[in-house]
Amino acid sequence: MEITIEDFQKVEMKVGVVVEAERIEGTRLLKLKIDLGGETRQIISGIAEYYTPEQMVNRRVIVLTNLKPRVIRGYESQGMILAAGCKEDEQKGVKPVLLAPDGDVPPGTRIC
């Protein structure tokens, strides 16, 4: 499916820094608190099979910030962290790899 440049301009992505991370018991989910430069958001991510909470703290990630909030297992998720490797790739043995900026980019910096 092709989209227009106008469609793409509706997508808002920013650099975030994970300030807290914990595994949600009995799930493959991590509950992350992410600093987006002046605002902190909670994001629920299905990456606990691949990343421990300790590996996530202080890590820079790319966050889709204008995604409608959603409740996952009783926790509100206020965005999505981006990774290469989707469910179809996992079936081929490819683990998700989190996307991150190349360098020390401040939290809240827009991706364009």
Give this prediction's pTM. Answer: 0.91
> Is the residue at 105 inside a domain?
no
Cβ atoms within 10 Å, residue 51: 21
The pLDDT tens digits along the chain (112 residues) read 999 999 999 999 999 999 999 999 999 999 999 999 999 999 999 999 999 999 999 999 999 999 999 999 999 999 999 999 876 666 677 788 999 999 999 999 999 8
Q: Is residue 107 part of a domain?
A: no
11: its two tokens: 């997508």
Answer whether 72's CB lies under 8 Å from 44's CB.
yes
Return the bridge partners of 110, or none.
14
Report the domain count for the chain. Answer: 1
Q: Does residue 111 belong to any structural domain of this protein? A: no
Specify if 73 maps to a domain.
yes
The reported pLDDT for the residue numbered 89 is: 63
Is 86 part of any domain?
A: yes
72 located within any domain: yes
Q: Which domain holds residue 64?
A: 3-100
CATH code for the domain in which residue 61 is found: 2.40.50.140
With respect to residue 82, please indicate whether it lies within any of the assigned structural domains.
yes
* HSE, side-chain direction, 13 A CA sphere, residue 60: 15
